[in-house]
Structure 1
Amino acid sequence: MPRFAILHHITPVDAEKPDHYDLLLEDGDVLKTFTLESFPSVDTSAKAVADFDHRMIYLDYEGPISGNRGEVTQADSGTFSWITRQADQITVQLQGKRLVGQLTLKIQDSSADS
């Protein structure tokens, strides 16, 4: 079963992006990554912005991010299954340490206002 992780990304004061959460979903040999404004809740939908694919190492990583981009701590992890996977919406079934249930991501354009 594929794995997931949610990382709390604490950014420097002068960073373009404020503190946020990164949802990482294992997809073959990469992690599909989505930026979330806050820690999600199951059985609801969350606004998400698709980010670039990350390396598998981030499933277990905590610590500083290169280029003075802050640091990450793991907020949750576990396994998941895809339920729906469309360009504008993804639903997954999470079996995590904190989150157990369905999470729907409403994919936003990265240039759209929050």
Structure 2
Amino acid sequence: MPRYALLRHTGAPDDPSGCHIDLLLEDGDTCRTWRLATMPRPNAGAQPAVPLPPHRLVWLEPRSAAVSGNRGWAERIHAGSYSGVLPNTTDPTDKDVTLQLQGDLQGCLRIAKGHCSLTIP
């Protein structure tokens, strides 16, 4: 099963809040990635999800490390696997994503119209 991870990213020069969450979804040789303001909470409603360039697979492993290019520090805080299929697209804003998460976070992850939500029945 493909993997997911959520990273706490601090000190990014383009992040005025100083801390955000990177949501990574394994997709072949890289991870599709979105920036979230906070950790997704089950049934808490949707929050903005900003697409980022693909991230390396190494970030799916347990680690805490400096981000290349003096772009802060990232620490993996949640991880697991997901079922479902990522849409085949080169533009992550182009299609909705609906996946089932298993692992540290569980439930239905949905990214649609620039927003991310996590629901559990």
TM-score by length of 1: 0.79
Q: Aligned partners of 1:36 and 1:63: how far apart in 2?
A: 19
Equivalent position of 1:46 in the other structure: 47
- The offset of 1:30, in angstroms, is 1.1
Q: Which structure 1 segments of 5+ residues have no match?
A: 109-114
Residues 1-114 of structure 1: pairs in structure 2 closer than 5 A:
1-11=1-11, 15-17=13-15, 18=17, 19-43=19-43, 44-60=45-61, 61-82=63-84, 85=87, 87-97=94-104, 99-108=105-114
| Structure 1 residues 45 and 92, CA gap change in structure 2 (3 angstroms) | farther
Residue type of the alignment partner of 2:39: F
For residues 38 and 11 of structure 1, the distance between their equivalents in structure 2, rounded to whole angstroms, comes to 15
**AA at the equivalent of 2:75:** T
CA-atom RMSD in angstroms: 2.3
Tell me how far apart the structure 1 counterparts of residues 28 and 85 of structure 2 sit (CA, whole Å).
16
With over 3 angstroms needed to count, the CA separation of the structure-2 counterparts of 1:48 and 1:107, relative to structure 1, is: farther
| Offset at residue 16 of structure 1 (A) | 1.9
How many pairs align?
Answer: 106
Report the TM-score, using the length of structure 2 for normalisation: 0.75
Shift of the 26–84 alpha-carbon distance from structure 1 to 2, 3 Å rule, reads: closer
Amino acid in structure 2 at the alignment position of 1:80: Y
Q: Which segments of structure 1 move beyond 6 Å, counting only runs of 4 or more? A: none
Judging changes above 3 Å, is the alpha-carbon distance between structure 1 residues 4 and 25 closer, same or farther for their aligned structure 2 residues? same
Q: 1:84 to 1:56 in 2, by over 3 A?
A: closer
SS of the counterpart of 1:40?
coil
Distance 1:73 1:2 in 2: 20
